[in-house]
Amino acid sequence: MSLKDIVAPFSVWKRAFEKPYTNRKPLDTRPGAPRYRGFHINAVDTCIGCGTCEEICQNEAIDLVPVKETRHGDSGLRPKIDYGRCCWCALCVDICPTGSLGMSNEYIWIDDDPEVFRFIPGYDEKSWNHAELGYRRAEGYDLLEGQRVGMPMLSFEESRKSFVEMVQGFSAEQAKAEADRCIACGICVATCPAHMKVPEYIKAIRDDNMAEGLKIVYNANPLPASCGRVCSHSCEYVCAVKHKGEALSIRWLKRYIIDQIYLGDYQKILDEGEPDNGKRVAVIGSGPGGLSAAYYLRLLGYQVTVYDANERAGGMLRYGIPEYRLPYDQVDKDIEYIRSLGVDIRQNTRIGADVDFEVVYRDHDALFFSTGLTDPYGLDIAGEDLPGVLSGLGMLDDVTEGRKPDLGASVVVVGGGNVAMDAARTSRRYNAEVTILYRRREEDMPADDEEIHEAQGEGCLLITQAIPLRIEKGDTTRLKLFWGRAEMVSDGPGRRPKPVLIEGSEEVIACDTVIPAIGQAADYSFLPEETAARLTFKRGYVEVNEFHQTAEEKIFAGGDIANPKRDAISAIANGHSAAKGIDIYLRLLQKERATF
Amino acid sequence: MVDVKQNSQRSKFPPVDAVTGKSRYNLLSGKYLKIWQGPQHPGITGNMSLELTVCGDEVIECKTHVGYLHRGFEKLMERRKYIQCFPLVCRICVPEPDFNEYLFAAGAEELAGIEVPEKALWYRTLTLEMARLASFLMWIGGQAGAFGMATIGQWTVTMRDYVLDLFEELSGGRIYHMYIIPGGVRSDLPAGYARRVEDTLVMIEKVLKDIDLAMMHNAVFKKRAVGLGVITPGMVDEYGITGPNARGSGIRRDIRKDLPYLVYDQLDFDIITEEGGDAYARTRVRMRETAQSIDLIRQMLRKMPAEGPFFRKLPNVLHWKVPTGQTYVQAECTRGEYGFFMVSDGTELPRRIYVRGPSYTHAVTLMERLAVHVNIADTAGLMVSLHTYPPEIER
């Protein structure tokens, strides 16, 4: 203790003359820092209602509530936040795949009603809804992975030389890494026509539980080896992770599960189904719709006979899709399992020619037909009947049957759908120079993006806004195709613009083969007239109810003839719901009738 | 340190039980009084309380009571995914949450084998030192206030608020920063941040000088703090004392030096010790460490890399399975050794996370011993001089 200890403390008296540090509320306001984690904002039109914010919130402060109509890729739900629970950690902002969720730098909100502190950011009118400042996920910090795991594929130089499958499949490590990207929001489930439980089978991959994965897949899709390769994957177009960059490779993850399991082990893993119930159902057509209906009917205990006109089962899966996309042994894997359950598949049996429709109708308790679109549309131009003009489907059919198509050195494919791409890429594999003509713009092409990309990668020349005019005999080549340039003309609001020929823009391509692949129509000639009269049709489609029952109660229909999506997975979904419909019809309605 | 047995010979004090070493007193005699200090008392550090038995104004027995703040963090974490534990851990210690964030992140990263980018290591160290600074500033106020010098408390709490402003600018939160996340940190430094940190440091230094005059060179403070709550060097290991409480007794013990973590091995500093082991020595250690913290922050702002990532991508946190294993990670917080013992069984949820807070030792066992024979008016000062925060006692 010294004199200093007595005197020194008094030296800080000077501080009495300093300005006070405090803010004088409410005269002074102090805005939160630019990164302040204040009240939530949400760009409701960017938000897709995936619910990942709800999932990560450890306080369970977030509930997703309906505010909009459900659309493709948008659940219509939006997060409602309870400020009685929120701790402002902002993990919801960090994880938000669309980046719609953020926080403003507002932090004062006074109300005497506690209920108002549960609100829907961005949807409820709040003064901070358009705040520029506040917490956002920083550049360089991300909790989700936007980049896909690359799929090992043959190079274009390799792939165009043979029919070897181009996509080689994931390794276990790759599949797990890809499966890890999933946020399990389930928007894919809502979008998949068959409502496959995608997040669940992806979880099975992460857990390395292939048997569980197989069960989940077969619950909604009995043709996964095929679908895992050629599904039109509408799920991937709506995948929430796509908003971060690239969608999950959902289709290839499904394929991964199937590739890991030997067909001989299926029976040990999958459900046996119910015992025979003594009822018989006929299925016409062994495409994805027919096989799906057959599988689920068989599981329900029905005796199922499938009639198919082709030499081998699979329909378009086998005859419409080239082997480099879907190897035949994979189609066989799917079909063999269905056959092994006791489904009787009769090939080379065309209804109307080999068997009478009436006989089939009489001998079975119910009937499902899924005969597909088999009649190719013509171009409707002069010279279409010249030798060297082949239909796309016909050409693909020939290749499947092992007949080498007569293509010559150069081919022009007309059309922008998957069949056109398949015809073009198959022609490349026969060393032809290939040109694809399409009436509209590239973004209007109905073919899958990767099909278009791969076709071009393999050397097919794509000419868009090109309308074929006429075909003539060639000078040095077999044919000459005359075509004109089109301009896109608006066709009214909400409708896609239509191509209109620019007069005098005629050009010519010398080629050996022209392959029109502009779609096909259904062929109902197998139906007897009186049966056809009992059914109703609309724009070529058979009209059905939600269980795919036609106007004739014993007849059900599905696949391309009954749904405008015209893809395998929709046909599979149709087959499944028809199986349920037939079961309800045969089990319940008939019982009811017996009672009354 | 006054020996208990010797004192008991004075008639005023009750006899001591030979087996338990505890006083045997008869409350009905009217000679002794039980007083609760806390849980609502200005002289208690947070939500805990001391059950004091006094004879006149001298404490003859002290019992620490906790449980007022139990929120069950460790149990809550067992039901949460790793990423969901991240907003929880900071709440285990309110005045310096960053050590919890760091240790939780470091433990998870070690179990998962994740290496953090260089820049994140610097940013983490920076926030830890800023947290230390803020925590010490608040503590100085508490120590001064406990001896009746509340004005000093107002200065330091203001200074702490300026540090909180810096945290707000960096992380978006003043108290719970939630800045250090497994994988790195959540954002880069804002533009011009170093300059604003420096401005704040200059301001704090000025106040520290005044505090040195008003507190460290204050006859009243010295009179009350010198000789109060003496921790002998021998008690340090016996009680498991760490941090300034140990360094105030001349023990050179600091995890930043003994087991360097983050970038402490690239910083220039010494372990600060004082002799005496009393409340005054501990105050001196903390005052000097406050200044040291300022120096460390300056060093870091000079040396840290300007370029590079501050975050390494984690596996998808929504189903992050941390590999099976266990680890103990530790860091030197303002109060001593802070540790996280983490066990993973390979699932998405931690099997067990045990938090070792230094306050457990200091506020319970040590305080119960040191309070005996202390004047009741000094118990608050003694309590604060041990620098304890109840939430880390009751995780």
Nearest to A144 among B215, B222, B316 (CB): B316
pLDDT of residue A271: 86
Decide if A581 contacts A548 (C-beta within 8 A).
yes
pLDDT of residue B6: 46
Is B85 within 8 Å of A58 when comparing Cβ atoms? Answer: yes
Residues 117-136 of A with CB under 8 A from B: 134-135
Write down all domains in chain B, each with its CATH number in brackets: 1-68+358-395 (no CATH), 73-354 (1.10.645.10)
A335 pLDDT above the threshold of 80: yes
SS3 track for B156-171:
HHHHHHHHHHHHHHHH
> Count of CB atoms within 10 A of residue B259's CB?
12
Of the pLDDT bands very low, low, confident and very high (cuts 50, 70, 90), residue B11 is low
Among 3.30.43.10, 1.20.120.420, 1.10.1060.10, 3.40.228.10, what is the CATH number of A168-268? 1.10.1060.10
Is B213 within 8 Å of A8 when comparing Cβ atoms? Answer: yes
* 3-state class (DSSP) for residue A514: strand
A163 pLDDT above the threshold of 60: yes
pLDDT of residue A203: 96
pLDDT of residue B1: 41
pLDDT of residue B5: 44
Element (H, E) at B62: strand B58-65
pLDDT of residue A343: 95
**Rounded distance between C-alpha atoms, residue A460 and residue A446, angstroms:** 17
Higher pLDDT among residues B39 and A106, named by residue: A106
Query: What is the residue-wise DSSP string for B320-370?
Result: --PPSEEEEEEEEETTEEEEEEEEE-SSSS-SEEEEE-THHIIIIIIHHHH
pLDDT of residue A16: 84
The residue type of B244 is: P
| Contact status of A1 with chain B (Cβ, < 8 Å) | yes
Which residues are CB-neighbours of A390 under 8 A, at least 6 positions away? A405, A513, A514, A515
Chains A–B, number of C-beta pairs less than 8 Å apart: 115
* 3-state class (DSSP) for residue B11: coil
pLDDT mean over A139-149:
94
**Rounded distance between C-alpha atoms, residue A430 and residue A41, angstroms:** 58
Provide long-range contacts, Cβ within 8 A and 24+ apart, for B200-205: B200/B162, B200/B163, B200/B165, B200/B166, B201/B294, B201/B297, B201/B298, B203/B159, B203/B162, B204/B133, B204/B137, B204/B159, B204/B162, B204/B163, B204/B294, B205/B291, B205/B294
A329 pLDDT above the threshold of 70: yes
| Residue from A85, A89, A178 to probe the interface with B (highest B Cβ count within 10 Å) | A89
pLDDT one-digit tens code per residue, A560-595: 999 888 889 999 999 999 999 999 999 887 777 776
pLDDT of residue A595: 66
What average pLDDT does the structure give for chain B?
A: 91
Is B87 within 8 Å of A89 when comparing Cβ atoms? Answer: yes
Of the pLDDT bands very low, low, confident and very high (cuts 50, 70, 90), residue A190 is very high
Nearest to A138 among B186, B314, B316 (CB): B186
B165 burial via Cβ count (<10 Å: 0-12, 13-18, 19+): middle
pLDDT one-digit tens code per residue, B119-171: 999 999 999 999 999 999 999 999 999 998 888 999 999 999 999 999 999 99
Residues of B within 8 A of A33 (CB-CB) are 165, 168-169, 172
Residues 146-185 of A with CB under 8 A from B: 180-184
Nearest to A8 among B172, B185, B218 (CB): B218
Strands of B336-344's sheet in order across? B325-333, B336-344, B352-356
| A40 min Cα distance to partner chain B (Å) | 13
pLDDT one-digit tens code per residue, B246-282: 999 999 999 999 999 999 999 999 999 999 999 999 9
* 3-state class (DSSP) for residue A445: coil
B2 pLDDT above the threshold of 70: no
Provide long-range contacts, Cβ within 8 A and 24+ apart, for B101-105: B101/B177, B101/B178, B101/B179, B101/B180, B101/B181, B102/B127, B102/B128, B102/B180, B102/B262, B102/B331, B103/B329, B103/B330, B103/B331, B103/B338, B103/B339, B103/B340, B104/B182, B104/B340, B104/B342, B104/B353, B105/B180, B105/B181, B105/B182, B105/B183
| Contact status of A110 with chain B (Cβ, < 8 Å) | no
A171 pLDDT above the threshold of 70: yes
**Rounded distance between C-alpha atoms, residue A176 and residue A186, angstroms:** 19
pLDDT of residue A89: 95
pLDDT one-digit tens code per residue, A391-437: 999 999 999 999 999 999 999 999 999 999 999 999 999 999 999 99
Is B84 within 8 Å of A35 when comparing Cβ atoms? Answer: no
B→A contacts (Cβ < 8 Å), by residue, are 80-81, 83-88, 155, 158, 161, 165, 168-173, 176, 178, 184-188, 190, 210, 213-215, 217-219, 222-223, 309-311, 313-319
Nearest to B311 among A4, A12, A140 (CB): A140
A1 pLDDT above the threshold of 90: no
Query: Is-same-fold flag (A168-268; A377-519)?
Result: no
| Residue from A2, A5, A86 to probe the interface with B (highest B Cβ count within 10 Å) | A5
pLDDT mean over A146-157:
93
Domain A377-519 bears CATH identifier 3.50.50.60 = yes
Is A56 within 8 Å of B187 when comparing Cβ atoms? Answer: no
pLDDT of residue A596: 61
Distances (CA, A) of A157 to A154, A353, B32: 8, 45, 97
pLDDT one-digit tens code per residue, B68-118: 888 889 999 999 999 999 999 999 988 889 999 999 999 999 999 999 999
Is B83 within 8 Å of A56 when comparing Cβ atoms? Answer: yes
Domain A276-374+531-595 bears CATH identifier 3.40.50.300 = no
B181 pLDDT above the threshold of 90: yes
What average pLDDT does the structure give for chain A?
A: 93
Residues of B within 8 A of A55 (CB-CB) are 318
Of the pLDDT bands very low, low, confident and very high (cuts 50, 70, 90), residue A11 is confident
Indicate the domain borders of chain A.
Answer: 168-268, 276-374+531-595, 377-519
Residues of B within 8 A of A203 (CB-CB) are 319
pLDDT of residue B24: 78
ipTM of the complex: 0.90
For residue A435, what are the β-bridge partners? A412, A461
The residue type of A203 is: K
B215 to chain A: closest CA residue: A9
pLDDT of residue A26: 81
B309 pLDDT above the threshold of 70: yes
Q: Identify the residue whose tokens are 């019992």.
A: B63
pLDDT one-digit tens code per residue, A466-487: 999 999 998 899 999 999 999 9
pLDDT of residue B20: 78
> Count of CB atoms within 10 A of residue A349's CB?
18
Residues of B within 8 A of A134 (CB-CB) are 172
* 3-state class (DSSP) for residue A53: helix
What are the structure tokens assigned to A207, written together?
A: 């857990």
B172 pLDDT above the threshold of 50: yes
A307 pLDDT above the threshold of 60: yes
| Residue from A2, A11, A141, A208 to probe the interface with B (highest B Cβ count within 10 Å) | A141
pLDDT one-digit tens code per residue, B207-228: 999 999 999 998 999 999 999 9
| From A115-129, B32-46, B298-312, the region with the lowest mean pLDDT | B32-46
**Rounded distance between C-alpha atoms, residue A578 and residue A586, angstroms:** 12
Of the pLDDT bands very low, low, confident and very high (cuts 50, 70, 90), residue B393 is confident
Residues of B within 8 A of A21 (CB-CB) are 158, 161
| Contact status of A325 with chain B (Cβ, < 8 Å) | no
Sign of CA dihedral A547, A551, A553, A557: negative
